[in-house]
Amino acid sequence: MTVYSHSRLSTFENCPLQYRLKYVDKIKLDESETIEAFMGSRVHEALEKLYKDLRLSKTNTVDELLSFYDDNWKKNYSGDIRVVKEGYSPQNYRDTGAKCIREYYARYQPFNDGKTLGIEQIIHIDIEGYKLRGFIDRLSCSGGIYEIHDYKTSQYLPLQSHFDSDRQLALYQLGVQDMFADVREVDLVWHYLVFDKEIRSRRAAQELLELKNEILVLIGTIERAEEDNDFQAKETGLCDWCEYQSLCTKRMHIVKTGQMSLNKYLNDPGVKLVNQYVEKTNEKKKLMEEIDAELELLKEAIIAYAKKEGVEVIRGNDKKLRVRIEEKTHFPTKEEKGRGELDAIIKEAGKWEAVSDLNVHALAKAMNGWSPQLIEKIKEFRRMEESCRIYVSGLKERE
Ligand code: SF4
């Protein structure tokens, strides 16, 4: 039977194709870790050591923890670790991890906020027969108040609303409540270490019930996708971190060509086709702009000719043109000068309801029946505009 986890559910929500490759096809690529994940693991190890040693009555100094962190960094680091964000070096991340540990230590020393019950504590959750599993970074308790701690080394600090609706720790709360009989309250605690910030949230019984229902709906969607083998690729900002880019229809060509030598790249048939297509599209756009400009000049010349000759219809070889020149009433629009004053006059005259949100195109009609003094006042805002239209039609037999 499938055992779900928060990350398994999130993977499906983020991208069904990534879910298929990872959990259905179980494809393991020899992909290197990102520097963010690498740094996060090293910081987690240091905090794990801190609390494991505390359980055995050993309090590490901050320097001891930092030296443990540094040793692990050196031991595990390899040139394969991927730095995705431009402009940052591995050393920037190494220093950031060390800063996280230093600041955490200073904030929580002497680490007596409750009893630590578990570090990397496995937790099992049962929702109507569906099994879920997770790992709590640190589970502590004081009296009947339990705390689920999660350490984050993300560079992004979400808003409180994010934590109040977070699924992962609320899910773990369900497991903790099943695990211990004396649970009175559960605090969900996130440590955003890069920001030296602690965020807390609680879940009411009703919210946990809704969470269970949401998870059941999501699992139902996943199972349907599996039955139909229908896993759509969903491109988002997270794709840059996706290990399956080389297998994904949306990214594989980009990844493949990004690894080619310049010569191979320029001779790639796909690259060539795209370049030709873009070139032709640009040519077409330029040509259309030139034709539009020529047509505009011709239109001006035709109107001038019609006015000079006093004609409305001009004939050509196969077609004729009808030139319609009209005077139109124009009142200032909301963006134009004088509109505020015009609105005030109409309101003062008690006619606002007749035009409501003043539609300047309908105003000329609406004025019929208004007092001559009011019409005169409003006319001051009016200007006459010339509107010219040209219609092309076929010549009749005898024309
Ligand atoms: S690259 Fe993006 S769209 Fe493709 S599988 Fe990965 S997450 Fe999904």
Q: Which residues line ligand 1 (CB under 6 A)?
A: 15, 17-18, 233-235, 238-239, 242, 244-245, 248, 250-251
Ligand 1 centre and the CA of 4: distance in Å?
A: 20
Q: What is the mean pLDDT of residues 60-66?
A: 97
pLDDT of residue 253: 93
Ligand 1 centre and the CA of 100: distance in Å?
A: 31
Residue range(s) in the chain whose domain bears CATH number 3.90.320.10: 24-228
238-253 pLDDT, tens per residue?
Answer: 898 898 999 999 999 9
**Comparing C-alpha atoms, which of 390, 381, 309 is closest to residue 345?**
381
Ligand 1 centre and the CA of 237: distance in Å?
A: 10
Ligand 1 centre and the CA of 234: distance in Å?
A: 6
294-295-297-303 Cα dihedral, nearest 10 degrees: 160
CA distances from 170 to 182, 190, 201 (A): 18, 12, 9
pLDDT of residue 383: 77
Q: Please give the Cα distance from 386 to 302 (Å, whole number).
A: 15
Q: Which residue has a Cα nearest atom 2 of ligand 1?
A: 239
Ligand 1 centre and the CA of 258: distance in Å?
A: 16
**Comparing C-alpha atoms, which of 31, 51, 46, 186 is closest to residue 121?**
51
Task: Give the position, in ligand 1's atom list, of the atom nearest the Cα of 18.
Answer: 5
267-269-271-275 Cα dihedral, nearest 10 degrees: 100
Q: Please give the Cα distance from 218 to 130 (Å, whole number).
A: 12
Lowest pLDDT segment from 39-43, 169-173, 235-239, 278-282: 235-239
pTM (2 decimals)? 0.69
**Comparing C-alpha atoms, which of 392, 383, 382 is closest to residue 324?**
392
Task: Give the position, in ligand 1's atom list, of the atom nearest the Cα of 248.
Answer: 4
Consecutive H or E run containing 31: none
Please list the residues that pair with 201 across neighbouring strands: 188
Q: Of residues 150 and 318, which shows the higher confidence score?
A: 150
**Inter-axis angle of helices 62-76 and 90-108, to 10 degrees?**
150
Residue 26: count other Cβ atoms within 10 Å of its Cβ: 8
341-382 pLDDT, tens per residue?
Answer: 888 888 888 777 666 555 666 677 777 777 888 888 878 877
Q: Which residue has a Cα nearest atom 4 of ligand 1?
A: 248
Fold of the domain built from segment(s) 24-228: Lambda Exonuclease; Chain A (3.90.320)
Ligand 1 centre and the CA of 37: distance in Å?
A: 18
Task: Give the position, in ligand 1's atom list, of the atom nearest the Cα of 234.
Answer: 3
Residue 15: count other Cβ atoms within 10 Å of its Cβ: 24
Ligand 1 centre and the CA of 267: distance in Å?
A: 26
Ligand 1 centre and the CA of 89: distance in Å?
A: 25
46-59 pLDDT, tens per residue?
Answer: 999 999 999 999 99
Q: Please give the Cα distance from 166 to 134 (Å, whole number).
A: 14
Lowest pLDDT segment from 174-183, 224-233, 285-294, 338-347: 338-347
pLDDT of residue 30: 63
Please list the residues that pair with 82 across neighbouring strands: 34
**Three-class secondary structure of residue 329 per DSSP:** strand
Q: Which of 248, 249, 255, 256 to mutate to test the pocket of ligand 1 (most atoms within 8 A of CB)?
A: 248
Q: Which residue has a Cα nearest atom 5 of ligand 1?
A: 18
Q: Where are the alpha helices (DSSP H) in 310-380?
A: 339-348, 352-355, 360-366, 372-379
Confidence class for position 236, pLDDT limits 50, 70, 90: very high
Q: Which of 239, 243, 252 to mutate to test the pocket of ligand 1 (most atoms within 8 A of CB)?
A: 239
Task: Give the position, in ligand 1's atom list, of the atom nearest the Cα of 244.
Answer: 6
Ligand 1 centre and the CA of 241: distance in Å?
A: 9
Ligand 1 centre and the CA of 42: distance in Å?
A: 27
Task: Give the position, in ligand 1's atom list, of the atom nearest the Cα of 236.
Answer: 2
